[in-house]
């Protein structure tokens, strides 16, 4: 199970303030908090549109890599930013993300192949999220074929079903499709391609009082279907508690009441 902290993003005021003044110490402290809370990878997003990533992304990667030996997820479609940041990682990073119809898809695939990166493939075509399970799987199948043709093997690929907000439109109708997507990927490819989901996207727009419970339950729901990796808020107590117990139930950890309490306290 791979649990990726989503916290280093443009919605995090502490992180964005550290970017403005570029405080490497603050960024390192934030990253350490996430690892202490149980994250085994960190997603880094320095903009929503890629503008300026070629400066900011390498600086953040370098700051974190100086103090932590943790896998990083580079959340940018800015090819120049990726080319500068990838060599600064202590271990080959995960690139987040590639979608069908992405203008820079060939360049991103080339970078991944050259540097041994893993790659998130998103079920989306021309910036449109398909509505049906079959259309999502077809979009992913096209991307898998493209990545394989470039020498990127299935074990370095993660397929994202593209989670949409449950509280808007047909959002609730898609929840079952996400689980079916996770199940189907195990049968669609040989060897199988892993699956990943950005868990908190499901509850975006809902009351902050109910989002943690929805997110934690959704995480367990998809992990039960075989989800390999999840983007989560590692500083949300319900998420951290759920992750610890999932690892225990999967025999990755030996349960310790004292350790469980420590995880709870770190996130409070």
Per-residue model confidence (pLDDT) at position 77: 93
Split into its structural domains, the chain has a count of 2
- Let me know whether 40 and 94 are in one domain: yes
Residue 164 to residue 212: CA distance in whole angstroms: 16
Q: What CATH number does the domain containing 181 carry? A: 3.20.20.20
- Let me know whether 265 and 187 are in one domain: no
Per-residue model confidence (pLDDT) at position 266: 59
Residue 168 to residue 104: CA distance in whole angstroms: 30
How many residues can be counted in the chain? 268
Question: How far, in Å, are 21, 70, 108, 203, 247 from residue 65 at the CA level?
Answer: 19, 8, 22, 32, 26
- Let me know whether 217 and 251 are in one domain: no
- Let me know whether 67 and 86 are in one domain: yes
Helix (H, G, I), strand (E, B) or coil at 25: helix
Mean pLDDT by 10 residues, the chain (268 residues): 96 96 96 93 96 97 97 97 98 95 89 97 92 94 95 97 88 91 88 96 94 97 96 95 93 91 66
- Residue 179 sits in which domain range? 2-236
Per-residue model confidence (pLDDT) at position 103: 80
- Let me know whether 33 and 124 are in one domain: yes
- Let me know whether 35 and 162 are in one domain: yes
Per-residue model confidence (pLDDT) at position 221: 97
On whether the CB atoms of residues 178 and 172 are closer than 8 A, the answer is no
Residue 48 to residue 9: CA distance in whole angstroms: 9
């Amino acid at each position: 199970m791979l649990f990726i902290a989503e916290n280093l993003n443009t919605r995090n005021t502490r992180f964005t303030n550290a970017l403005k003044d570029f405080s490497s110490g603050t960024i390192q402290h934030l990253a350490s908090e996430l690892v202490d809370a149980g994250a085994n990878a960190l997603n880094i997003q320095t903009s929503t549109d890629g503008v300026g990533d070629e400066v900011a992304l390498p600086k953040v990667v370098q700051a974190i890599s100086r103090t932590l030996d943790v896998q990083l997820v580079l959340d940018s479609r800015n090819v120049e930013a990726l080319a500068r940041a990838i060599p600064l990682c202590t271990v080959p990073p995960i690139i987040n993300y590639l979608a069908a119809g992405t203008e820079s898809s060939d360049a991103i695939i080339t970078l991944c192949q050259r540097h041994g990166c893993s790659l998130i493939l998103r079920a989306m075509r021309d910036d449109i999220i398909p509505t049906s399970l079959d259309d999502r799987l077809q979009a992913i199948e096209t991307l898998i074929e493209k990545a394989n043709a470039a020498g990127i093997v299935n074990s370095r690929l993660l397929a994202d079903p593209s989670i949409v907000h449950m509280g808007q439109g047909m959002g609730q109708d898609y929840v079952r499709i996400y689980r079916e997507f996770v199940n189907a990927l195990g049968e669609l490819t040989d060897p199988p391609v892993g699956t990943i989901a950005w868990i908190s996207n499901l509850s975006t727009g809902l009351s902050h009082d109910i989002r943690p419970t929805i997110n934690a339950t959704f995480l367990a729901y998809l992990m039960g279907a075989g989800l390999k990796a999840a983007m989560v808020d590692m500083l949300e107590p319900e998420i951290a508690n759920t992750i610890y117990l999932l690892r225990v139930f999967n025999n990755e950890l030996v349960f310790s009441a004292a350790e469980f309490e420590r995880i709870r306290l770190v996130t409070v």
